[in-house]
Structure 1
Amino acid sequence: MKRIKVIFKQHRQDNFILNQGKDVLTIYTSDRGLSDTLVTTNVFEILKKRAITPSEETYDLLHFAIGLYVIDQVYSRKAFGFQGWSRYFEIYVPVAKPELWQEIKEELENTLSFLSGDRWILHFRELIKEEKQLKIPEEKQASKIDKVALFSGGMDSFIGAIDYLEQGNRMAFVSHHKRGSEGTAQQTLFGALRKKYGDEAFETFRFWVQPVKKNAPSADISSRMRSFLFVALGLTIANSLDEKIDFIIPENGLISLNVPLTGTRLSSHSTRTTHPYYIYELQSIFGHLGIKNNLYNPYQTATKGEMALNSKNLELLRELNKDTLSCSHPDQNRWRKGGKSGVHCGYCVPCIIRQAAEKKASLKGTVYVHNIISNPTSLKSQSGEDLRAFQLALERIKSISEKSLTFEIMNSGPLSFPGKYELSDYVGIYKRGMEEVADFLYP
């Protein structure tokens, strides 16, 4: 396996170098618009414009997350990974307090490996400070925001937004978007929420971070590290307000656990972007760094259908759910004759779980390219893989014991750690979630 060496730098005044040859890539994590830049972003422009001033450690975390997201995108797993998947990264990271980060080095490396399936070696070095660096305040000003929440534009984050707004919270919604339908969905939904709850009910922070393809060594279609970037962006906003402000990641429990549907879907198919163990480990790491904001998923033991049925404003959800976007590849439809982007495919894992939830909560109006009930795609085709995997998983669940089912659920990650929920809670959410899917697939 080839070791990929990368130097992160927060700015161009950083003159750190390695002696090992030309195969070392340098990434400047704040965009300066130069011809050789590998990342373009509006993050620091927004922080400056909105006077967002996170703690020193949070600011370092943000730069670190941006760098991780970029290298995840620019190094192809097929070209650089062991057996076309697992890559080996050695990263040199500038931080204000290297000795503090060194204390959580092993835990952080393991957590990143759990998330992405890659091997990570981290070297923390003294930050060479920029002359005009973002000023970190000694004392934070009182905040008018009650909670910060991730807002992806998907069904789950929209339900979360409705629930917290209905409870009278003044919210800050943090989004990351790429070009295309994702950003459009976010804007449409924010407009609808403003119309319902008023301009003063929430603030929005719409970030984008993207690699510059023409300067990249290659490209990869996976985006495991996007989850880490989401968390860093959310914590940056929450921490800049007050360390007591929570950062919420709304995600239904079935997707959060993401138990492999078949034995062949353990690596590339088994994402862990909101897995409870991953969130638990991040909370521990951030706490050691002095970032005290609580990070949690309030829907960890709810199915997507239960989230919808228990919405604090089900009428509003039924009106606007069609504008949310849950599909794994909503822009593929534009390649079809007369097709447009932003349309759910109908056959990917998120689309199948979404349709099951819509049936349970009587949500209508979402447009799907394929109706897998009346006109199923071929199970031998690529578009039929996820449907076939669900069918196999549902058949297998019928015949295995509770103990065996528990071990299957733990294939996606450890669940025996201190927390709010017991192992039985995770088993329960998996069983109810799969029953919800079965009710959709076998009406």
Structure 2
Amino acid sequence: MNNSRQNTSNELLIGDSFLPSQILLNGKGLENIGDEIFLDFIDVAAKIFIEDVSNKVNSKDEPRNIDVIVPVTNAQIWTSQKKLLERIGNFLSGDRWNIEFTNCNSKLPKFYIKSFITTPAFDNVTLLSGGLDSFCGSYVNVENKVQSIYCGYKINKFETKGLNEIHNIIKEYKGVSKRFNTLNITKEEHTQRTRSFLFFALACATASMYNINEILLYENGVLSLNPELDSRKTTKTTHPKTLYLVNQLLTNLNLNMRIRHPFLFKTKGQMINELSDEFKNNIKFTNTCGKARNNRKIKIKSGHCGFCIPCMLRKISMAAYGNEKYDLEYNAPYGTNLENCDIAFKSEFKSSNEYFRVFNEKIKDGTIFNELDIRSKYYNEKNYLELTKKMLDMFGKEVDTFYSKYPL
């Protein structure tokens, strides 16, 4: 290995043998990697993620200028995808990316022997984040008798605890889980807008190990579209455009696999309500809160604030179908309103509720599509507009139901 490269502030360890792919995989499954391009993919996505979380967003949330240099086994191939990768980074985080590549020696062990896994056979790889949506996806797999490899990533101790419980549930249904090690980095920016790209790369590597060509992303359509109402910054991690761009990258790299989004035209409430009682009883182990992840000062038993947008969407989705009894403890529980909410989070509670008020208003007056960055090329379905409208109309009814039960 070439160990002459200089260590930088965001490089984990000196030497090509200590690239993110080696740390994440920890040597496990390397013998089954079909091509080193998958290790390169992990390193490209990981370096983007590392730079994203290592550079604080300024108070005005202006685009950052971020430079990334990634050691890869074939710089020519990856340089040909430079513009597409920068476009993906820009869409996910809103920043200006400059991604460069340098050649490095082989990332596989010196005495590497390629060994394909042929048994048991699996139908697909399913991304398992520990969130409620992917948990609903695991139920769909179980109901349809789909044999899947569940691919997860250890975020932090709190989320890992819930993820462990979910993996144990999946094992009861003979599901196989594969969780990757955590990158030990200091996060200056906790929004982690590019982390889904890293998850996709890890899922692709997993698919390569098991000769699988389908990767399933289970996330609800409302949160995937995530309109930036009133210029509010929202995540695009599972947006149809994101998947379109990543699938385009896979095509350009001649990788025979695709990422699908089965819940794109479903609301979170619909997904939850379709669960069996057995699965509903385990909803309490899933993680949703964005505020608790970003601000560890929030100390409550469940780790859910109850007033950020993800928590409010979860409560809306649970309450719309009378499933509150299966939910967990919130800092701002069901029934919190502007009069009885804690002064410490009153401002954000009001802001999150205003977001859903405006969202619902635009659904009802038909202007919501002015807020959405969706095009036909992002979809396989020709009637994607009709399906999206049907999903949004259903969400509007769910919002109405929630606020009729819990007036603001």
TM range (shorter): 0.7 to 0.9
Quick one: distance in 2 between partners of 1:441 and 1:136?
A: 60
Residue 45, structure 1, aligned to residue 12, structure 2? no
**8 Å contact kept, 1:53–1:136:** no
Residue 102, structure 1, aligned to residue 66, structure 2? no
Residue 302, structure 1, aligned to residue 235, structure 2? no
Partner residue, 2:402: 440
Aligned AA for 1:367? E
CA offsets 1:377-431 (integer angstroms, 9 cap, x no match):
3696134321122223334444x3x3x33222x2xx3323153232232233223
| SS of structure 1 residue aligned to 2:222 | helix
Q: 1:352 to 1:84 in 2, by over 3 A?
A: closer
Partner residue, 1:65: 45
Identity of aligned residues (%): 23
Partner residue, 2:312: 352
Aligned AA for 1:15? S
**8 Å contact kept, 1:247–1:296:** yes
1:205 to partner: Cα distance = 1.4
Aligned AA for 1:27? E
CA offsets 1:115-134 (integer angstroms, 9 cap, x no match):
11111122223223368458
**8 Å contact kept, 2:153–2:199:** yes
Q: 1:428 to 1:241 in 2, by over 3 A?
A: same
Quick one: distance in 2 between partners of 1:291 and 1:415?
A: 24
Q: 1:158 to 1:103 in 2, by over 3 A?
A: same
Gaps of at least 5 residues in structure 1 are: 1-10
| SS of structure 2 residue aligned to 1:204 | strand
Residues matched between the structures, number = 396
CA offsets 1:59-103 (integer angstroms, 9 cap, x no match):
100111121111111111228xxx443111222222222222222
Quick one: distance in 2 between partners of 1:291 and 1:282?
A: 11
Residue 113, structure 1, aligned to residue 90, structure 2? yes
Partner residue, 1:240: 209
**8 Å contact kept, 1:69–1:226:** yes
1:57 to partner: Cα distance = 1.2
| SS of structure 1 residue aligned to 2:70 | strand
Quick one: distance in 2 between partners of 1:110 and 1:332?
A: 26
| SS of structure 2 residue aligned to 1:120 | strand
Quick one: distance in 2 between partners of 1:350 and 1:258?
A: 11
| SS of structure 2 residue aligned to 1:209 | coil
Partner residue, 2:137: 160
Q: 1:134 to 1:102 in 2, by over 3 A?
A: farther
Partner residue, 2:175: 202
Quick one: distance in 1 between partners of 2:260 and 2:240?
A: 9
Residue 259, structure 1, aligned to residue 227, structure 2? yes
Residue 190 of structure 2: which of 221, 226, 229 is its match? Answer: 221
CA offsets 1:179-237 (integer angstroms, 9 cap, x no match):
23210001112223334x2xxx1221122333433xxxx71122011111111111110
**8 Å contact kept, 2:362–2:368:** no
Quick one: distance in 1 between partners of 2:13 and 2:376?
A: 36
Quick one: distance in 2 between partners of 1:173 and 1:359?
A: 29
CA offsets 1:22-59 (integer angstroms, 9 cap, x no match):
9x7562479999xxx997985231525x8442422111
**8 Å contact kept, 1:74–1:220:** yes
How does 1:239-388 map onto structure 2 within 5 Å?
A: 239-244=208-213, 246-260=214-228, 262-265=229-232, 269-311=233-275, 314-330=276-292, 335=297, 339-363=299-323, 364-365=325-326, 366-371=328-333, 373-376=335-338, 377=341, 381-388=347-354
Q: CA RMSD in A?
A: 3.0
Quick one: distance in 2 between partners of 1:84 and 1:250?
A: 29
**8 Å contact kept, 1:174–1:205:** yes
1:113 to partner: Cα distance = 0.6
Choose 101-110 or 55-64, whichever is displaced more: 101-110
Quick one: distance in 2 between partners of 1:319 and 1:161?
A: 14
Q: TM-score, normalised by structure 2?
A: 0.86
Aligned AA for 1:47? K
1:351 to partner: Cα distance = 1.3
Gaps of at least 5 residues in structure 2 are: none
| SS of structure 1 residue aligned to 2:26 | helix
Quick one: distance in 1 between partners of 2:88 and 2:13?
A: 21
1:15 to partner: Cα distance = 2.9
